[in-house]
Structure 1
Amino acid sequence: MISLPEKEIDLPFGFNDPLNYLETLVSWANKYKWLYDLHIVDFFTHDQWNKLDQEWTHVLEQEENWFDTVIQLTSFEPIINPSWPETLKKYIQESNRIALLRKQSNNERHTEFKKHMLFGMTGKKIHEVERMSDLIHQVAKQHGISSALDLGSGQGYLSRALAFHHDMNVLAVDMSEIQTKGAERFDRRVIRHEEKYTEESHRGRLTHITELITPQNISSVLTRWGSNDDDKDISTSDTNTTPTTPSSTTTTNNDRWLICGLHACGDLSTLIMRLFAEDNDKVSCLVNVGCCYHYLSEQPGCMFPETGFPMSDSLAKMNFTMGTTARVLACHSPWQWKHQKQASKKSFQQHFFRALLQKIMVDKGLASASQAPALAHRINKKNGFVGYVQAALKKFGLSSDSITAEEAEQYLEEYKYAEKQITILWTLRSLMARVLESIVLVDRWLYLKQSVSSPQSQQKNGNDNDISPRGVWMWPLFDPMESPRNMVFVASK
């Protein structure tokens, strides 16, 4: 059973106040904004190597096993050479020290699914859904809730686990009809196997709909789909209710919902939080794990009426802006590099090839140094740098003879030393990834904490006889090596 941790938020050593902690994160991020805002494609054309402290670059280049030494700096417990410059040691240590703790508890226990529940799931997805569904079920049980709203349900892995494994009534909502239809196909496959076990198997009711839920329409949507009547008309073309038997464990309070989302992208996670905060009539609990911070809006009206970042009044008052480049970095998981050496080397080589191509194109007048042309997808490097160049020229709509094979080979020979430099620069930059993600996460925690503590929330949901926990918890639910976006939010009001 997965239960709530003792602390609502577990701050790094030396911090006791979340607001003070956020201020420290922002201060550190502002200090190194010049570093995390770098685009590696501009390595040569913007002379990025010389922007680093030359004491840093000298000692790192001179390390005997430089690659292993450098990439392990991004692990949770970096090994630092005592002879390095104090400024370099402080940057590495402080970037690691102030980031939120990401390792999950070793005492965690969870149920395991039967084989038929695993259709379509990868090992990573099984790891996530088993733990997430256990937690949701436990939170719902504590609050006397039997109904869950799974927003951004996708192929329905979490929804099925809640309905068929934990006997909850689930409204699975996704904006994509393709996802909804795919989820329904998986549902039917699971149900066939469920019926083989026992005719008395109790299951919750699972309803899939294709719809956009907003703070303005959530109450009406939940009223429309929240009934337990088996006679409900479900003939609407964009909806489907999986024909399951209502669970015998359904609680008596059918008006309260738990809203959840597993790796809800960008603004979808913030929408889930706003729905929880703003709807005091039906939504009383939240369980959410977010991802894809690069899709967050930092301007009003981008996807939803409110911005995705920042959410809290506290961060808004600091006038801190992140930008797309930093939000992309916040999604990185450099702590995995040490255990994926070959994949890491290939990735660094990709950065080197792209930066060298940009230099050639600028030198030949094919591109501007101020605005590098974008490559929408990675290029297969089977034919080395020459093949990479030819494939890139084709994607850019340029003639194949714009850069000859001989020119490409000459540049590669002249600048091959820079692949080491790019690896070092990119790794040092990536140390800011956990700091930036910590800002996003603490901002969300403060927003939820504010909403739970508001007089309106306490007045609407107050009940002297209710001893279920109230508050906002954030902690690592998944193994960060298995699932890097592993911080879960649980909120109740």
Structure 2
Amino acid sequence: MIPDRPLPYSGDYASPEEYVEKLLGFVWNSEILQILCGGVHILDFFTIEPGLFHYALPKEWQPFILSCDIMQLLDLLMRDDLDNLSFEGDQRPPESFIEYIRTVRNLSLGRTFTPQELKLPILPRSVAVGMNPKKIHEVTNFADYVDRLSRGIAEESGDEISHFIDFGSGQNYLGRALASEPYNRHVVGVEGREINVTAARGLDISSGLAIKPKVMRNKKLWSKIKKTRGPEGQADPDAMAKAIREVAVDTDFDFRPVRELDAEYTAEQGKGFVQYISGKLDSGDLGDVIAQIENGDASEGEKKELKLMAVSIHSCGNLSHFGIRSMLLNQNIRAVAIVGCCYNLLTEKLGPPTYKYAYLRPTLEAINGRIMRESEKHDQQGFPMSETFSKYKGEGIRLNITARMMACQAPFNWSEKDSEGFFSRHFFRAVLQKIFLDRGVVKKIRHYELDRETETDASPVEQGDSESPFDISTNPVIIGSLRKSCYGSLKAYVRGAVQKLTSNTDYKQYAEVMQEKMAGITDEEIEQYEAMYLPRRKELCAIWSLMAFSAMTIESLIVADRWTFLQEHSDVVGKAWVETVFDYAQSPRNLVVVGIKK
């Protein structure tokens, strides 16, 4: 049940504790890692000369990196045997670059997945409805994993897991598989979006877990209702309700749409069962959830002895933390098995970076976005979870949203075609930000005071201080997705982005500024920008590749923090480990954090 190593590190470390210490030391001491993971942002690639490429990387690395084809560079970063490299002539990479690659590889948790013999190798069509191939792979493997884990717990401790609690169950793909043959488990889906719960109940009916309720209909009355409502009230629920009250008063007929009918669930001995509890969690305290769990005809004493396992496939942001903490905060939670994702949605427990983090960009507010200032909340539910990480070197480990966003990348899965597509999008966006800066749409922002002891409103130029991308950036502007045709050229991208921003009704004031500053830009001007920066596109591709590669240590850091948190609570937690549960090629967020109560 427990893997040989509690953490799947690949380097030669004597213990998981030594691995964690080396990882923390690298994150704390490596300036290159700090620059690539949180110190630079693609938006500001061309806003400061000579560009981020020249600021971010050691000079001795730059000629070699620019001489490489991008796919060749990706192979060197992630796949090539570093002890048997073959390069022509003077193209050999500098030793310091090779050592950096080796260190990142050694400190990145292993992602190799060894498939197990599954109890249910192929999901029945009725259960798999609505799932894409990625979701089928995840549900098939994780359902089998948590079932094996629960049986292993029962064999070792005698604790028979009575229910699985699925954090953020969504449309309950995992729970439906666990409640169906051959697992027949009881599952409680905790979901904050009612629309997902409604959809899940519909899928339960399709799979046979629930019964479609029988209601009385009347076609003649329905025709009268529609006539009374009139065509103008077709999309108005209130008009429909009023028409029903007028026409079908004092009748037993039901005119609700099928999707609004409550599915009927029946608990049977030896069969699986699904229950939904709607609500948004804000901590790991599941007292209210546990109080609502249905346990058939069990006595009050038996209900108090519920033995639960918290599970989740890809809990976004802090939801993973809630799931892990639930084992400490709830007596009934006997184990957890949580696969996290969306690290960018984690909050920041330690607050904004201080001046001691020389390269860590503060999280800036988009000028056309809602005010969040998440880092200033010092959310105790956020990253890091563990005391070890929170108090490291007296300052604690901080990750800004840029670093956490990069940890969501999957560079091992990048094909040449995929890479070309998103490199082009990043290039277009970086050039557009330069255009915004030149035309006064955005301004440069200094991150920290030049003089730490006295405040000043003087500009960098007036201070006589040279600009640095580690202390200067520009206002973010949220653009979001554009039509596919907008990604064909820089000209199409600029036109599409400006059109979207000037027609935004949510931020009318900013749309007017955009109209004033950008309406007059000509095709010739856009072509001049493209001619100026296209020769430097490779610099951007190289930096983005290095950022994604380096961020593998950031994901490892986040996962190691969660494992360390469980280890620190050895008075409650008997065993804790991390292992892979999915094939990285199909689902790159494939590390599960497991904890079992004493």
| TM-score exceeds 0.5 | yes
Match of 2:480 among 355, 374, 377: 377
2:433 & 2:553 partners in 1: Cα distance?
Answer: 30
CA deviations on 1:379-421 (whole Å, 9 max, x unpaired) are 3434411111111222333235332111001221222111111
1:442 alignment counterpart: 560
1:245 alignment counterpart: none
Q: What secondary structure, in the 3-state scheme, does the structure 1 residue paired with 2:315 have? A: strand
Moved more, 406-415 or 434-443: 406-415
Equivalence map 1:139-178=2 (5 Å): 139-142=149-152, 143=154, 144-165=160-181, 166-178=183-195
Q: What secondary structure, in the 3-state scheme, does the structure 1 residue paired with 2:178 have? A: helix
TM-superposed CA distance for 1:223, in Å, is 3.3
1:333 alignment counterpart: 410
Equivalence map 1:16-415=2 (5 Å): 16-30=14-28, 31=30, 32-37=33-38, 38-46=40-48, 47-51=51-55, 52-63=57-68, 66-77=69-80, 83-105=92-114, 109=118, 111-112=120-121, 113-142=123-152, 143=154, 144-165=160-181, 166-191=183-208, 202-213=270-281, 218-229=286-297, 255-279=306-330, 281-299=331-349, 306-318=380-392, 319-337=396-414, 340-370=415-445, 371-379=474-482, 380=484, 381-397=486-502, 398-399=514-515, 401-415=519-533
**8 A Cα contact 2:311 2:323, kept in partner:** yes
Task: Give the letter aligned to residue 125 of structure 2.
Answer: K
Report the TM-score, using the length of structure 1 for normalisation.
0.84
2:308 & 2:481 partners in 1: Cα distance?
Answer: 43
1:421 & 1:445 partners in 2: Cα distance?
Answer: 37
Moved more, 473-482 or 202-211: 202-211
2:294 & 2:61 partners in 1: Cα distance?
Answer: 60
Task: Give the letter aligned to residue 581 of structure 2.
Answer: L
Q: What secondary structure, in the 3-state scheme, does the structure 2 residue paired with 1:173 have? A: strand
Task: Give the letter aligned to residue 49 of structure 1.
Answer: F
2:359 alignment counterpart: none
1:216 & 1:429 partners in 2: Cα distance?
Answer: 33
1:135 & 1:316 partners in 2: Cα distance?
Answer: 31
Compared CA separation, residues 224 and 334, structure 1 to 2 (3 A):
same
CA deviations on 1:91-114 (whole Å, 9 max, x unpaired) are 112111211111112555452222
2:303 & 2:134 partners in 1: Cα distance?
Answer: 35
**8 A Cα contact 1:265 1:290, kept in partner:** yes
TM-superposed CA distance for 1:231, in Å, is 12
1:442 & 1:45 partners in 2: Cα distance?
Answer: 36
Equivalence map 1:458-469=2 (5 Å): none
TM-superposed CA distance for 1:72, in Å, is 2.3
Q: Would you identify which runs of 4 or more consecutive aligned residues in structure 1 move more than 6 Å?
A: 192-195, 300-305
Give ranges in structure 2 of 5+ residues lacking alignment. Answer: 155-159, 213-267, 352-373, 446-473, 503-513
**8 A Cα contact 1:29 1:432, kept in partner:** no
Q: What secondary structure, in the 3-state scheme, does the structure 2 residue paired with 1:225 have? A: coil
2:277 & 2:210 partners in 1: Cα distance?
Answer: 23
**8 A Cα contact 1:19 1:314, kept in partner:** no
Compared CA separation, residues 436 and 103, structure 1 to 2 (3 A):
same
2:241 alignment counterpart: none
1:43 & 1:214 partners in 2: Cα distance?
Answer: 37
TM-superposed CA distance for 1:266, in Å, is 0.4
1:309 & 1:326 partners in 2: Cα distance?
Answer: 12
Moved more, 424-433 or 362-371: 362-371
Task: Give the letter aligned to residue 485 of structure 1.
Answer: R
Which has the higher relative contact order, 1 or 2, with Cα contacts under 8 A spaced 6 or more apart? 1
Q: Does 1:484 align with 2:493?
A: no
Q: What secondary structure, in the 3-state scheme, does the structure 2 residue paired with 1:365 have? A: coil
2:591 & 2:8 partners in 1: Cα distance?
Answer: 11
Q: What secondary structure, in the 3-state scheme, does the structure 2 residue paired with 1:378 have? A: coil
1:481 & 1:253 partners in 2: Cα distance?
Answer: 42
CA deviations on 1:49-108 (whole Å, 9 max, x unpaired) are 211223212112223xx1221232443556655621111111112111211111112555
Q: What secondary structure, in the 3-state scheme, does the structure 2 residue paired with 1:473 have? A: strand
Compared CA separation, residues 55 and 284, structure 1 to 2 (3 A):
same
1:236 alignment counterpart: none
**8 A Cα contact 1:102 1:486, kept in partner:** yes
Aligned residue pairs, count: 450
CA deviations on 1:283-321 (whole Å, 9 max, x unpaired) are 111111010111111138969963221111111121111
**8 A Cα contact 1:119 1:186, kept in partner:** yes
Compared CA separation, residues 147 and 194, structure 1 to 2 (3 A):
same
Task: Give the letter aligned to residue 208 of structure 1.
Answer: Y
Report the TM-score, using the length of structure 2 for normalisation.
0.70
TM-superposed CA distance for 1:324, in Å, is 0.8
1:466 alignment counterpart: none
* CA RMSD, 1 decimal: 2.8
Compared CA separation, residues 387 and 70, structure 1 to 2 (3 A):
same
Task: Give the letter aligned to residue 266 of structure 1.
Answer: G
**8 A Cα contact 2:347 2:383, kept in partner:** yes
Moved more, 348-357 or 477-486: 348-357
Compared CA separation, residues 300 and 213, structure 1 to 2 (3 A):
farther
% identical equivalent positions = 29
Compared CA separation, residues 366 and 253, structure 1 to 2 (3 A):
closer
Task: Give the letter aligned to residue 283 of structure 1.
Answer: I
**8 A Cα contact 2:320 2:338, kept in partner:** yes
Q: What secondary structure, in the 3-state scheme, does the structure 1 residue paired with 2:171 have? A: coil
TM-superposed CA distance for 1:364, in Å, is 2.9
Q: What secondary structure, in the 3-state scheme, does the structure 1 residue paired with 2:521 have? A: coil
Q: What secondary structure, in the 3-state scheme, does the structure 1 residue paired with 2:586 have? A: coil
2:42 & 2:64 partners in 1: Cα distance?
Answer: 21
Moved more, 367-376 or 29-38: 367-376
**8 A Cα contact 1:136 1:287, kept in partner:** yes
Task: Give the letter aligned to residue 409 of structure 1.
Answer: E
2:109 & 2:44 partners in 1: Cα distance?
Answer: 31
TM-superposed CA distance for 1:21, in Å, is 1.8
Moved more, 264-273 or 411-420: 411-420
Compared CA separation, residues 111 and 282, structure 1 to 2 (3 A):
same
